[in-house]
Amino acid sequence: MIKIFEMFQIPFMQRALVLSMVTGAFLSFLGVYVVLRRIVFVGICLSQISACGFAFGFLIGFDSQITSFAFVLLGILFFSFIKRMERLPQESITGMIYALFAALSLLFVAKSAGAEASILNILSGDILTITEKQVYMTAGVIFLAAFFHYLFYRKFLFISFDPETAVSTGINVKLYEFLFYFILGTVISFAIRSAGVLLTFGYLAAPASLALLFRERMKDVFLFAVLTGLSATLIGLVLSFFWDLPSGTTIVALMGIAWFAGYIFKR
Amino acid sequence: MNELFLEFKGVAIGYGRKVVLSGINFSISKGDFLGIVGPNGTGKTTLLKNILGVLKPLEGEIVSYESFRIGYVPQVQSLDPIFPLTVSEIVRMTASVKINDEKFYAILKELSLFEFKDKLFRNLSGGFRQRVLELLVLDEPTNDLDIPSETSIMELIQHLNREHRIAIVMVTHVLDLLINTAYEIGFLSAGKLFIDSRDEILKEDKLKEIYGTKVRIAEVDGKKMVVT
């Protein structure tokens, strides 16, 4: 116990803890919408597009947070206005976009002389090397996003559950749909820097999937998902510190095991 | 004169450039009950989407005269049962658009349906959703229901129409559901919508013209039914 206390006396561990708790909690909250709307693969796709934007920034020597955000913005424009195609199912379009941006990320890394190691760190998540400025920026963005979700809770739920009725009652579904994706994409592009593609995706998919197995009321599902994300983050950070494991991967593995156990239990 | 809600004036509807129905002229006023019948794929849901304003007409004009409260009950299959929402949560969700909960609960109580309010939407047999409105648009509301549930839903719809004067537009592929309830019946056939009063539509020569085969209307215990 004392050792855990000592661990969080270290400045970089404090930053990692604060940032991963805030990011993990909010991504777990957003994950409920992502899972319910059946757009889990859009989640991983946006994470990969964001990571690709980072790599592109390094390649051209530009601020990679900005390029990452720009890439995600294009991604959300694509996903929020994507029309149903008769010839192709949506998941195959999402799959192709993912494959394309994963490949582009690696190509950009391969051509970024000297920066290869640092980009690879970012792509896989590097929560222990984040700066104080990044903590404040990411936390600021997430608090703003959470405020919008609080403000438009009913509307986001309504357009997710029954967009046709929402239109008929005068809600500007296209606008709120864009806002929903805009918040999702922005949060992902900030989370990627510290959490990486895998952990960001893990937060979007696992806590919500676990919560939906065990809770039957909307607000309980949100609460359960957030608590799952927070517990996995805390336990994962402690385990990764003492056993010298990569922190993001440890958190994802914990969430995955918890989900799998829950799934077996509930079957 | 009844309060006029909506008027279709020489409207053509469809998706993209594809016209599904054309030359549509009708109006909906307070207390109306318009039933629309037609086989699958004839444009029933497309017509409803135009009434709701989800789709814009390709030609003509749909005039909305009042800012009336409109409600839509989609086909049950179009709502995703993975959402853990209760009946009252769904009402509250839509309450942000001027829907009066109190009146809704009063009607639920009147119809002994109040007990459903805390039930999860996905656990309701067939999925039942209803709100207090001035115009209620229903897309195949009795699909997948057993006969007693179908009867009680049709009684509820009729009650809302007769007692609360809520205008109803209901789409179905079962004519039987409409011949005892709707005041006007519309048939969709060959890209056109033919609307007439129920009594006109139920004449044998008219039915033969629509169905292309001899169809009779029989009466059992005061209720009309279609016999082929």
Summarised one tens digit per residue, pLDDT across range A210-229 is: 999 999 899 999 999 999 99
User: Nearest Cα to B101, choosing from B115, B116, B119, B88?
Assistant: B88
Asked if the structure places residue A88 within a domain, the reply is: yes
pLDDT at position A127 over 80: no
Summarised one tens digit per residue, pLDDT across range A179-192 is: 999 999 999 988 88
- Number of domains observed in the structure of chain A: 1
Contact B54 A164 (CB under 8 A): yes
In this prediction, residues A116-137 reach a mean pLDDT of 73
Chain A positions touching B93 (Cβ under 8 A) are 154, 157-158, 161
- Of the candidates A155, A168, A221, the beta carbon closest to that of B70 is on A168
pLDDT at position B125 over 50: no
Query: Which residue type, as a one-letter code, is found at position B227?
Result: V
What's the pTM value of the predicted model, to 2 decimals? Answer: 0.69
pLDDT at position B1 over 60: no
Asked if the structure places residue A267 within a domain, the reply is: no
Element containing residue A200 per DSSP (H, E) = helix A173-214
Q: In the predicted model, what is the mean pLDDT of chain A?
A: 86
In this prediction, residues A50-58 reach a mean pLDDT of 89
Separation CA A23–CA A178 (nearest Å): 21
Residue with tokens 């900030």: A190
Asked if the structure places residue A68 within a domain, the reply is: yes
Chain B positions touching A225 (Cβ under 8 A) are none
A158-161 own/partner pairs: CB under 8 Å, 24+ apart: A158/B93, A158/B94, A158/B96, A160/A33, A160/A36, A160/A37, A160/B83, A161/A36, A161/B79, A161/B80, A161/B83, A161/B85, A161/B90, A161/B93
Distance from CA of B109 to the nearest CA of A (A): 23
Distance from CA of B171 to the nearest CA of A (A): 16
The boundaries of the domain holding residue A254 are: 2-262
Tokens of A94: 């999402």
Chain B positions touching A159 (Cβ under 8 A) are none
Chain B positions touching A221 (Cβ under 8 A) are 84
pLDDT at position B100 over 60: no
Residue B92: its pLDDT value, please? 61
Residue B160: its pLDDT value, please? 81
Element containing residue B27 per DSSP (H, E) = strand B18-29
Bridge partners (DSSP) listed for residue B9: B61
Is the ipTM of this structure higher than 0.90?
no
Asked if the structure places residue A187 within a domain, the reply is: yes
Task: Say which CATH number the domain at A65 has.
Answer: 1.10.3470.10
SS3 A201: helix
SS3 B71: strand
- Of the candidates B49, B82, B97, the beta carbon closest to that of A171 is on B97
Residue B129: its pLDDT value, please? 42
| φ, ψ of residue B25 in degrees (nearest 5) | -135, 115
| φ, ψ of residue B67 in degrees (nearest 5) | -90, 80
Tokens of B117: 């309010």
Asked if the structure places residue A129 within a domain, the reply is: yes
pLDDT at position A114 over 50: yes
Whether chain B has a CB inside 8 Å of the CB on A154: the answer is: yes
Q: In the predicted model, what is the mean pLDDT of chain B?
A: 76
- If you average pLDDT over each of B5-14, B112-121, B189-198, which comes out highest? B5-14
Residue A148: its pLDDT value, please? 96
- Of the candidates A154, A164, A212, the beta carbon closest to that of B93 is on A154
Residues 6+ apart with CB under 8 A from B181: B33, B35, B154, B157, B158, B161
Best probe of the A interface among B5, B47, B77, B96, by most A CBs < 10 A, is: B96
Residue A161: its pLDDT value, please? 86
pLDDT at position A146 over 50: yes
- Of the candidates B54, B85, B97, the beta carbon closest to that of A218 is on B85
